[in-house]
A and B are shown apart, each in its own frame.
Chain A
Amino acid sequence: MPVQYKGITEEHLAVRRACGIFDISHMGEFRVTGPAARDWLNSLLTNNTTRLGIGQGHYTLLLNETGGVIDDLILYRTGPEAWFLVVNASKIAEDFAWMQARLTGGVTLENVSTAMAGMAVQGPRAAATYQPVAGAHQELPDRNGIAEFISLRGGTCLVCRTGYTGEDGFEFFCETGEADYWWNEFVEHGAIPCGLGARDTLRLEMGYPLNGSDLSPGRTPLEAGLGFFVDMNKPAFTGREALAAQKVHGLPSQLAGLRLTEKGPPLRAHYPVLSGGKTVGELCSGGVSPSLGYGIAMAYLPPALAAPGSALEIDIRGKRYPAETLKKPFYNKALAPLSPA
């Protein structure tokens, strides 16, 4: 996926106002099958797999023994004993090795990443784009859902009502030989090609974390504000003890949203964050919000400073600019309607 096709701002706003399409073929796909698959996945992932009915999906995390994040992913249930996982591109090998090393009887794990292409079609007009292209083969599933079908050309396709932009839309996976066909069809029906730049600004406006920037093996999902996707009441899962200890002793840090309170340069990863003249953290993600028109960022801060409204400073190339923490998501469609295109 290129950084941009025509321009990050233009592509970003196309997704907020109409419909964009991203090539996500770099992402990894695993299939897990077998009578023990559900409970095995439940022992490795933070969310509760027993809550997923056939055709449903949810966001979940793969943790190490100390509760740190190896990867964040989406798990879908495609059949009574069949599961589909979409993982981060940079983590395909690591996730697969981690899971394979913990395989038990009654479970088959398969990495189908190289055989499958993927595209994310996102925006208020995504469903209308889908309908004339594939609606006759397979209805678009409900939010977070998945459906599998065989195309007229004979390839397996999976359509998932999920995304990484905060807009309605779907992620579409097919065999690599059919990728051009589906991409061109969606584009012909109104989806505007979008690059990695817009993908980053869209997810950042929503406060969605990016693994490698905002998630790391040294931080837990509780620190990242992802406790909603961790079920502490289900049977044991890898990393649970560390999370339970954090719940008792308190979090060492919390992922906060930040912005400058005066005009200044856009915020970028690694800029130091200061409180009372002392460095208290650094930005892990940052950028200019095309919807809002100002710089936004995220940083792990001491919990006392992470609550919205803390007055801080951000050091940009040696100059300090006043900043404040604020609530995520940064962009809220209901509160900040975009001016008409």
Chain B
Amino acid sequence: MPAPANARFAASHEWILSGVPESPVGISDHAQAELGDVVYVEFPEIGRTVKAGESVAVIESVKAASDIYAPVSGEITAVNEAVSADSALVNADPYGAGWLFKIRPSHPAEADALLDEAAYLAQAR
């Protein structure tokens, strides 16, 4: 499944949209496939200020619990209630309905400095 053209990736497998003032954040298609069936997501608190690389959420799959890190610094502005009700959305549509939370970047240039999909996939393999 291809990511949106403006998706930028952290090496820790999260994506964010570049050039969007309040961007959804999710995990890559590669990451959801590696994790297996997602059964639970522990979301960050709305309004929390986070630093890039900080652990902000936990994804639980049938295999294991995995930390999700903020790809950029900023403020958490929303969490995806649809995923809370049906966590399989993370597997089914990681770049769409399966987003996890929204973040308002404090330094928008941080997202631009992340990897594009090709570079991310090259290092993820």
Contact = CB atoms under 8 A, between A and B. Distances in A.
Nearest to A319: B42
Given A287-B62, A288-B62, A4 B40 contact: no
Interface in B54-75: 58, 60, 62-65
Interface string A196-217: 0100010000000000000000
26 contacts: A3-B36, A3-B63, A4-B36, A8-B36, A8-B37, A8-B62, A9-B37, A9-B62, A197-B36, A197-B63, A264-B40, A265-B40, A265-B42, A265-B58, A265-B60, A265-B65, A266-B40, A266-B62, A266-B65, A268-B64, A268-B65, A288-B39, A288-B60, A288-B62, A290-B62, A317-B42
Contacts of B60: 265-266, 288
Interface of A: 3-4, 7-9, 197, 201, 264-266, 268, 287-288, 290, 317
Q: Is the interface of A mostly helix, strand, loop or mixed?
A: loop
Given A8-B36, A265-B40, A266-B40, A201 B58 contact: no
Interface of B: 36-37, 39-40, 42, 58, 60, 62-65
A341 to B, nearest CB: 16
Nearest to B67: A317
Contacts of A287: 62
A19 B63 CA distance: 22
A8 B63 contact: yes
Nearest to B64: A268
B39 A266 contact: yes
A7 B36 contact: yes
A268 B40 CA distance: 13
A288 B40 CA distance: 10
B57 to A, nearest CB: 11
A287 B62 CA distance: 7
A181 B30 CA distance: 33
B62 A197 contact: yes
A317 B60 CA distance: 12
Contacts of B64: 268
Contacts of B58: 265, 317
A282 to B, nearest CB: 15
Contacts of A288: 39-40, 60, 62
Contacts of A317: 42, 58
A266 B59 CA distance: 10
Q: Which 6 A-B pairs have the closest CB atoms?
A: A8-B62, A9-B37, A288-B39, A265-B40, A266-B60, A265-B60
A265 B42 CA distance: 8
Nearest to A268: B65
A46 to B, nearest CB: 33
A170 to B, nearest CB: 26
Nearest to B65: A268
